[in-house]
Structure 1
Amino acid sequence: MSATNQTDNMKVNYGLCIIGAGPTCLYALSGLAAILRRRRFELSVTIDIFEKSGNFGAGAVHSPDQPTTNRLNRIADQITFAPDESNLAPDYLLEPHERHGFLQFCRQRFQRTGEEAFRVTPEDWPPRCVHGVALMECFDSYVEILRSIPGVSVQLHTAEVTDLIPIAGGYRIVFPDQYIVADHVLVATGHSRNRPRAGSNEERFAQFSRSTGKANYVEFAYPLELNLSEAAIPPGSALACVGQGLTAQDGILFLTEGRGGIFHSDGISGFRYEPSGREPRIISLSRTGVFTRARPTNEKHADIGALEHTGVFLTEDTIDRLRVHRGHPTTLPNIGVCRQLDFELDILPILKLEMFLVYYGALFGKSFLKRLICEAEPLVESFILSRPSKLDIDSTDELCRQLEPFIDEAVEILEQLESGIAISSLQRRHVGLDVEDIASAFKSFRTTLPLGCSGAPNDHRFSWDRMVEPISPRSYDGPNTYSAQVVRFMERDHAYAAEGNLRNPEKAACDAVWRDLRPVLAYAIDFGGLTADSHREFLATYMRYHNAWADGGCLETNQKMLALIRAGIVDCSTGPSPQVAINPGAGSFRIHGQLTGAVHEVETLVDAKLHPLDVEHDASPLIQAMLRRSLIRSWVNTSANGQQFQPGGPEVTRFFEAVAADGKVLSDLTLLGPVTEGILFFQLGLARPNKNHHVLNDVLCWVQHFERRLTQHTIAQPSHKLTAKS
């Protein structure tokens, strides 16, 4: 609390402190406003909110001051700032006119001010800074609602909390030269940054950079305006950007468009780049050797309820049945008995089948999809009831493989049509299939293929392996041929993305399963749903597939990456599995493409990836203080066979209560949002409207828990004062 409005003898019945005021805090405030106004508790409530960046509502990640080149990878009408009726918690909702959606905000702001930045259409992929403005204004409106409730006060602190000290009845929250005391603490600190692990390559790179004074190692790309400035990375210097996802794309655009380069629309492949002369030379590299796939045009926003995929076989009911018949029972602390699944043995075959079905539904039409589903039903039933075996690891395609004869039949129909056989004649031969529907669907697909791409139906079969490795090692023999294959792959991917997430088979399959069914994956994985070994493998392998196939940048951003490659500003010749080494003699970093033979010497090495949550190595003083005081512990997934996996995040209960080092549940110390990643799956996403979104459900679960704690609180304590540290 500020010293200007707090007297020494003033006492508050209940104090809530929220640390971190990004989107998670914003969502929580909407729920708090709803319950505090509805219940009218017979005690006063003070809410202290800390945000070190000063961007209340946006935090640092969504800062309104960040470069305009940073874009969201979510379209405008799929972003909301509060729970809605789809979340099935009517008592915890604000009135409809009080809730805010991003698109609604932009329209109102544009009507009021005429600012072009807010001329946003439903299908636009907006700049992150515009999203930040919306978050902050929405935050202000929720705070205004809270302050209008009798007995509720809200205080904002632009400061970093550095320590959390347990005291009788609550916690002392320490920030520079001051502290406050609160009954309940919510930690919602958002994205994390890690200190390099001892003995890691990252530590060696940092030490080398410090010792030479010449080599420059950037441990974390953000904030771009500081870490990637022209002073730090001069024009013409050589830079290696490790990572080819969203963070890397932000950095590359900041180093090019952000330095005065201009992208001109060419009407063919997207853009042509005109350099400013201030760019560095950028070597782009990653484990896969290619940028994440472009997000497709979103055709589902027209009617989300009707068009989003709800799952044929990959459903929560299927997960429940798999646990009964194939699960491995174990008891996890604060979770209870859980029948853990093996992702590869139990879930992956059904996930692949789901993608297979969506793929061919887009390629060969709806009637063909219905036939496939009918044929698949007994296969899936048999699979669920069967006993898993480690031998099955090589048979994750078996459900799809048993349906291949029907794909053969459809391909044969299309080839015979191509040879001149009439549809009516073919329909008589293939009674169980709608030949005209198959022909129409495939014709629609073929008309959108990029120039030079085969139109033969057999060349467009569903292939998991091709998606995992889009550029075959047999297709290149050096840096130049690999670069040519990257361009060809990106051209094809961009054509697929332009076709959309309903019409293009590959984009439809990825979007339906890895985005629309993400809540089903969370249902399977959260709170120890997978065995320890399987959980480790899922994060190491399949989460990368998720990021590559369904969580990339928008089409425009990816087209800009292609334009930069063609302009010679970005070099992708290193290829997959690159090696990065230090070169002490030259005072530089050496990049070697193991499969392409490319070699590059660079002055600057940038880690352009989001750091995974790892509380034991987190750079946050608060997280380290909580560990030191034994208020939190890293969660360990333990299976019945004794295998363990520690994903990195803290242990929390289903009500988001912290679990202390001794195993005690701390009901008045809670954590929510990205800081819970590990025991929970995919906490980094923004909230979506009308989707019963898991991020908002988590927030509502916390609000319900806080309401219970508030109800139980009968004694007005502790004294809540702003005090100078001695």
Structure 2
Amino acid sequence: MNDRPAPTARRAPFRLAIVGGGPRATYVLERLSADAAGPGREGRLEVRVYERTGEFGAGQAHSPTQPATSFLNRIAGQVSFAADESMPGAGPLRPRAGRPTLHEWCRRRFAETGEPDFDLGPEDWPKRYVHGLALQDSFTAYVRELRAHGVPVHLCPDEVVDVSRQDEGFELRTAAGQRHRADHVLLVTGHGPHDPERSPAGRERAAFARRTRATYLPSAYPLASTLSPTVTGPGTVVGCAGMGLTAIDVVLHLTEGRGGRFVPDDRHGLRYVPSGREPSSLVAFSDAGMFTFARPHHAKEQGAGPGAGIREHQGVFFTREAVDRLRASVGTAPAGTAPAAAAPAQLDFDRDVLPLVVLEMAQLHHATLFRPAARFLAERSAAVWRDFLDGARTAAGPPDDPERLLGPLRAAVDEIGAVLERVLAGKEAPATAAARVREWPVGATLAHWTGVVFGDDARDRLREAGNDPAALQRAAAAWRSPWQLDESPTGNRFSWHRTIAPVPRSAYATPGQYRAALLRAMATDRVWARQGNTANPHKAAADGVWRDLRSVLSYAVDDAGLTASSHRAFLARHTRHHNRLANGAAVEVMTRIEALARHGLLDLTTGPGATVETDDTEGRFRVTGPATGAVHLVDTLVDARIHAFDPRLDSAPLFRRLTERGLVRLWRNESADGTSFEPGGLDLTAGFHPVGADGAAEPGLTVLGPAAEGRRSFLLSALRPDRDHYVMRDVINWLDEFRELTAHQEERECGR
């Protein structure tokens, strides 16, 4: 007699479709593979990943095939590929050796290959293709693990062009005509270029290029095929619309990537030696008229220098609590009758939030110079700050002045500067000044300021001079700042206007004068960046506020936190400030850009406010700089900007078709005054499920990444270790819901 139980029907696995096979797909598979190792998981899941480029793990933007002239704008020690202990509720974690940072991955690969591009320290800036290799390697490992745990993973090198709702689940249709069913669809498509035919300016430029000998390239990527020598070779003038990270990729690909060389230069760091295969000229232009600022040397959490032991900046004045107080005192009710928790009182960024940002920057700037006196500086600003939060605006400066809260801080800085200046001039002994001044430590502040401005050797000479005024005066007279900082204690004052516009309008009247002034500003910025993000006051203020406090910026802006008109202005103006101040390229990269400009191959004479017109007489694009008077005729115009997600303009059809089907709709910021603003991102629930045309959420779809921009901000980022980073936090939150979905399906099937 056979005592074995009768076999039961095998449950159909839950079918997950991941649309987009780039970095976010890699992070998703990392969590899925860790989760699949649990008891009873085998056979419960089937995964299908779609990536139109076929470059699984990296996608086009992070492709390992991209030119070696493109650099990541994150140091190797700040990139990772797996969840870690900083992420509550992440679930099973890999052993520490199984979740290397990019730096650790590179060290292993360097030991295996000896390839110099892998020979990186934790603070070094990797080439972007190296990041792509590491992403692909991680993706492949996670797929292998999933399959080993009995989870089928299908890799589809095809583009999903449509998703439709079925009686049970969804049907996905690809560009190749394939149709697949799924129970849940995760859309992590990343950034795609805009279709030039979907905007008036794009249509005009494309039509002009078709009827003339000019060339219009609406997207720069992939660089190797798009920027072919046929349209960017010797004898051509290439116009580069944009001066951000994409433009830097374009410029370096068309110069160093064409065989040019950078050689050491004692005065400027590098000098460019052309190969003869470059375009005759590269005209870079943008509304601001300048490239992003150099990312500073990362010194936080390190153990040397004036910034030793400093961690990421924690806000003094610009905090979530401060934003909440502003909403309570001066915020305006949003449109509709949604609960306050879902629809906070709206603020005006320039009127309400920017003064706090500027105050925080000024505080950090001067605390970097006078760190032992930081509390004294903060206490001086406390009263005007509290009054501002409570809605009393008359005590501050004019309502349109971003610096209107800085008066008390500036007075305190003047007091410190005057005391230190007397001591360094030999007019007062340090001990006498210390006995007279009780609110802040004179000796420690003087020593710190000396180290920041002049370096450790000067601080040693200061210590040797002791309390002797004459010896101090002699020592100070010989000091010179290696960091191009003002050498007077009353100098180095913070200025918001100078920070965002280091080349004032008064500094130039001709194209040549603008070029010279911009090169001086770039050289100074390069030196400041080498000093680092804890020792240089300018870089500390930018990095500490616009990078370390980015989550507070998001807290103020996201979920209709600003009025519709202010939200529009924020995206048009202040995201550019963020990108220039805190999201630029490494100093090593910007030294190359500066060298190309000094050589003359890279033309920077256009200045701010550049315009592009079509010139039928010349058959070329005309780029004009109204502030400098520069005029350039351009053979090939490259749009070297990353545009915000907008399905109405996207070159890919997927989200347009989802909109037409009513599965998704655009998110709209609506204000009580009747104004509204659609940034382009989708309307999503807190769990990133799209809200359809009927106002109902679709739990079977989840959208992460750029398509969620609009309601949220600053969504483009590589995973960072030890930070409970939002990129993995979003994945973890999705996985929690995903487990519930699979459990519910099992319950339904067991009940049949």
Please state if 1:518 is matched with 2:550.
yes
Please state if 1:562 is matched with 2:568.
no
Provide the residue aligned with 2:140 in structure 1: 140
Provide the residue aligned with 1:261 in structure 2: 260
In structure 2, the CA distance between the partners of 1:670 and 1:84, relative to structure 1 (3 Å rule), is same
2:379 to 364, 374, 383: 374
SS in structure 1 of the partner of residue 566 of structure 2: helix
SS in structure 2 of the partner of residue 162 of structure 1: strand
1:322 and 1:346 in contact (8 A); partners too: yes
- Structure 1 residue 259: Cα displacement: 0.2
Please state if 1:603 is matched with 2:635.
yes
> What is the rounded CA distance, in whole Å, between the counterparts of 1:305 and 1:203 in structure 2?
54
Please state if 1:104 is matched with 2:104.
yes
Provide the residue aligned with 2:612 in structure 1: 580
> What is the rounded CA distance, in whole Å, between the counterparts of 2:748 and 2:263 in structure 1?
64
SS in structure 1 of the partner of residue 569 of structure 2: helix
- Structure 1 residue 450: Cα displacement: 5.9
1:327 and 1:339 in contact (8 A); partners too: yes
> What is the rounded CA distance, in whole Å, between the counterparts of 1:487 and 1:576 in structure 2?
15
Give the gaps of 5 or more residues in structure 2.
1-8, 456-480
2:286 and 2:608 in contact (8 A); partners too: yes
- Structure 1 residue 566: Cα displacement: 1.1
Please state if 1:328 is matched with 2:324.
no
Please state if 1:85 is matched with 2:85.
yes
Deviates more, 1:193-202 or 1:224-233: 193-202
Deviates more, 1:536-545 or 1:491-500: 536-545
> What is the rounded CA distance, in whole Å, between the counterparts of 1:69 and 1:441 in structure 2?
39
> What is the rounded CA distance, in whole Å, between the counterparts of 1:55 and 1:496 in structure 2?
38
In structure 2, the CA distance between the partners of 1:707 and 1:601, relative to structure 1 (3 Å rule), is same
- Structure 1 residue 716: Cα displacement: 7.6
Give the 5 Å matches for 1:361-510: 361-364=367-370, 366-386=371-391, 393-421=399-427, 422-447=429-454, 449=481, 454-510=486-542
Amino acid at match of 2:342: G
In structure 2, the CA distance between the partners of 1:38 and 1:640, relative to structure 1 (3 Å rule), is farther
Q: Deviations over 1:235-263 (max 9, x none)?
A: 13111111111000000000000000000
- Structure 1 residue 625: Cα displacement: 1.8
- Structure 1 residue 333: Cα displacement: 7.2
Give the gaps of 5 or more residues in structure 1.
1-8, 718-726
> What is the rounded CA distance, in whole Å, between the counterparts of 1:276 and 1:520 in structure 2?
47
Provide the residue aligned with 2:289 in structure 1: 289
2:316 to 303, 312, 318: 312
> What is the rounded CA distance, in whole Å, between the counterparts of 2:35 and 2:91 in structure 1?
7
Q: Deviations over 1:183-226 (max 9, x none)?
A: 000010001211236563232111100111x0111111111101
Provide the residue aligned with 2:269 in structure 1: 270
Give the 5 Å matches for 1:147-166: 147-150=147-150, 152-166=151-165
Provide the residue aligned with 1:200 in structure 2: 200
> What is the rounded CA distance, in whole Å, between the counterparts of 2:656 and 2:186 in structure 1?
16
Please state if 1:683 is matched with 2:715.
yes
1:322 and 1:384 in contact (8 A); partners too: yes
Please state if 1:631 is matched with 2:637.
no
- Structure 1 residue 168: Cα displacement: 1.0
How large is the RMSD of aligned CA atoms in angstroms?
2.3
> What is the rounded CA distance, in whole Å, between the counterparts of 1:609 and 1:49 in structure 2?
28
Please state if 1:540 is matched with 2:546.
no
- Structure 1 residue 153: Cα displacement: 1.6
> What is the rounded CA distance, in whole Å, between the counterparts of 1:18 and 1:125 in structure 2?
30
SS in structure 2 of the partner of residue 535 of structure 1: helix
Provide the residue aligned with 2:75 in structure 1: 75
Amino acid at match of 2:377: L
- Structure 1 residue 489: Cα displacement: 0.5
Deviates more, 1:459-468 or 1:113-122: 113-122
SS in structure 2 of the partner of residue 325 of structure 1: helix
Amino acid at match of 1:216: T
2:703 to 640, 650, 671: 671
In structure 2, the CA distance between the partners of 1:640 and 1:451, relative to structure 1 (3 Å rule), is closer
Provide the residue aligned with 2:470 in structure 1: none
> What is the rounded CA distance, in whole Å, between the counterparts of 2:130 and 2:401 in structure 1?
47
In structure 2, the CA distance between the partners of 1:507 and 1:306, relative to structure 1 (3 Å rule), is closer
SS in structure 2 of the partner of residue 264 of structure 1: strand
Deviates more, 1:427-436 or 1:511-520: 427-436
> What is the rounded CA distance, in whole Å, between the counterparts of 2:49 and 2:701 in structure 1?
15
SS in structure 2 of the partner of residue 86 of structure 1: coil
SS in structure 2 of the partner of residue 610 of structure 1: coil
Deviates more, 1:29-38 or 1:255-264: 29-38
> What is the rounded CA distance, in whole Å, between the counterparts of 2:595 and 2:561 in structure 1?
43
1:270 and 1:556 in contact (8 A); partners too: no
Provide the residue aligned with 2:3 in structure 1: none
> What is the rounded CA distance, in whole Å, between the counterparts of 2:197 and 2:445 in structure 1?
55
Give the 5 Å matches for 1:217-228: 217-228=216-227
Amino acid at match of 1:276: S
1:100 and 1:138 in contact (8 A); partners too: no
1:77 and 1:301 in contact (8 A); partners too: no
2:353 to 347, 352, 359: 347
1:164 and 1:171 in contact (8 A); partners too: yes
In structure 2, the CA distance between the partners of 1:690 and 1:267, relative to structure 1 (3 Å rule), is farther
1:208 and 1:215 in contact (8 A); partners too: yes
Amino acid at match of 1:236: G
In structure 2, the CA distance between the partners of 1:319 and 1:145, relative to structure 1 (3 Å rule), is farther
> What is the rounded CA distance, in whole Å, between the counterparts of 2:525 and 2:238 in structure 1?
26
In structure 2, the CA distance between the partners of 1:32 and 1:507, relative to structure 1 (3 Å rule), is same
2:244 and 2:641 in contact (8 A); partners too: yes
Deviates more, 1:439-448 or 1:52-61: 439-448
1:19 and 1:188 in contact (8 A); partners too: yes
- Structure 1 residue 41: Cα displacement: 4.8
SS in structure 2 of the partner of residue 546 of structure 1: helix
1:325 and 1:387 in contact (8 A); partners too: no
Amino acid at match of 2:136: M
Higher alpha-carbon Rg: 2
In structure 2, the CA distance between the partners of 1:221 and 1:42, relative to structure 1 (3 Å rule), is closer
In structure 2, the CA distance between the partners of 1:45 and 1:101, relative to structure 1 (3 Å rule), is same
SS in structure 2 of the partner of residue 250 of structure 1: helix
Amino acid at match of 1:208: F
Q: Deviations over 1:608-664 (max 9, x none)?
A: 111111121111121222122221111101123322111111111110101112211
- Structure 1 residue 91: Cα displacement: 2.2
Q: TM-score, structure 2 length as denominator?
A: 0.90
In structure 2, the CA distance between the partners of 1:332 and 1:665, relative to structure 1 (3 Å rule), is farther
Amino acid at match of 2:318: L
Q: Deviations over 1:170-194 (max 9, x none)?
A: 1111111211100000010001211
- Structure 1 residue 410: Cα displacement: 1.8
SS in structure 1 of the partner of residue 406 of structure 2: helix
1:34 and 1:94 in contact (8 A); partners too: yes
- Work out the percentage of aligned pairs sharing the same amino acid: 39
